[in-house]
């Protein structure tokens, strides 16, 4: 084999391995999943994952070195954010692959659902149908800053740590749908258990806000393509 080809092949694989190595760590994956919800300071990240500021800073520097995260400075504040939408895609794809290839992943998800008595999670299309019909109360369990950054249409913010104190705000005449940070987060399932115990009809949506946005964008594009392909713009 030509030496130039071998050198190039080995060099580019080494670059890919750098990203792979950075992802092979529970703390760094947690940080990426949290930053997918919106920018945060290192102090907030440390509090969220339950680790020291020093430990979180060290892991953020590793992610920054390979440009998975970036920093923003404003006066005396430094916040971290994902460097691009591609990083969200990467984390989501990792979860997809785990669900498809690792039986243990599916077992963990099913066990959590059984232990909390959570109903089968809604698909994006099923949730969209319910929202259009306006027959659900959609609850975002994430902290207020993440809700402000981006949330599902029509959702109201009731952070998980406030849920017990704010049950009276929720309507029992409608089905309550809860969601949080996605499939790597257990809050929606645990919250559904609390709500069912309080007499609410509950459903869960276990995808992230970004996953919802992606699915809805793809659906809209498919619908637009379908209508464009039909005579008279799809009008029968």
Whole-number Cα distances in Å, 74 to 77, 84, 212 = 5, 20, 31
Query: How many Å apart are CA 139 and CA 92, to the nearest integer?
Result: 22
**Catalytic residue check, 185:** no
Find where tokens 């997918």 sit.
36
β-sheet with 40-41: strand ranges across: 40-41, 77-82, 69-74
Phi, psi dihedrals of residue 179, rounded to the nearest 5°: -145, 160
CA neighbours closer than 13 Å in the CB half-sphere of residue 180: 19
Query: How many Å apart are CA 132 and CA 127, to the nearest integer?
Result: 9
Long-range contact set of residues 59-68: C-beta below 8 Å, sequence gap at least 24: 59/25, 59/27, 59/28, 59/31, 60/31, 62/22, 62/28, 63/22, 63/28, 63/31, 63/32, 66/18, 66/19, 66/22, 68/19, 68/22, 68/32
**Residue positions annotated with a catalytic role:** 180
């Amino acid at each position: 084999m030509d030496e130039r080809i071998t050198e190039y092949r080995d060099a580019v694989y080494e670059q890919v391995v750098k990203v792979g190595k950075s992802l092979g760590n529970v703390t760094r994956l947690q940080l990426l999943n949290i930053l997918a919800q919106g920018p945060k300071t290192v102090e907030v990240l440390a509090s969220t994952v339950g680790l020291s500021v020093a430990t979180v800073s060290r892991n953020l520097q590793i992610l920054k070195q390979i440009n998975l995260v970036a920093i923003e400075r404003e006066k005396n504040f430094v916040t971290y954010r994902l460097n691009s939408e591609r990083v969200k895609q990467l984390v989501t794809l990792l979860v997809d692959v785990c669900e498809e290839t690792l039986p243990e992943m599916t077992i963990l998800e099913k066990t959590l659902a059984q232990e909390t008595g959570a109903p089968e999670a809604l698909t994006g299309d099923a949730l969209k149908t319910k929202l259009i019909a306006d027959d659900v109360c959609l609850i975002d369990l994430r902290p207020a800053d993440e809700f402000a950054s981006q949330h599902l249409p029509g959702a109201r913010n009731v952070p998980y740590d406030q849920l017990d104190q704010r049950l009276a705000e929720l309507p029992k005449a409608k089905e309550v749908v809860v969601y949080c940070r996605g499939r790597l987060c257990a809050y929606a399932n645990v919250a559904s258990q609390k709500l069912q115990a309080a007499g609410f009809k509950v459903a869960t949506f276990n995808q992230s806000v970004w996953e919802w946005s992606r699915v809805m964008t793809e659906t809209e594009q498919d619908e637009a393509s379908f209508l464009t392909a039909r005579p008279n713009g799809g009008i029968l």
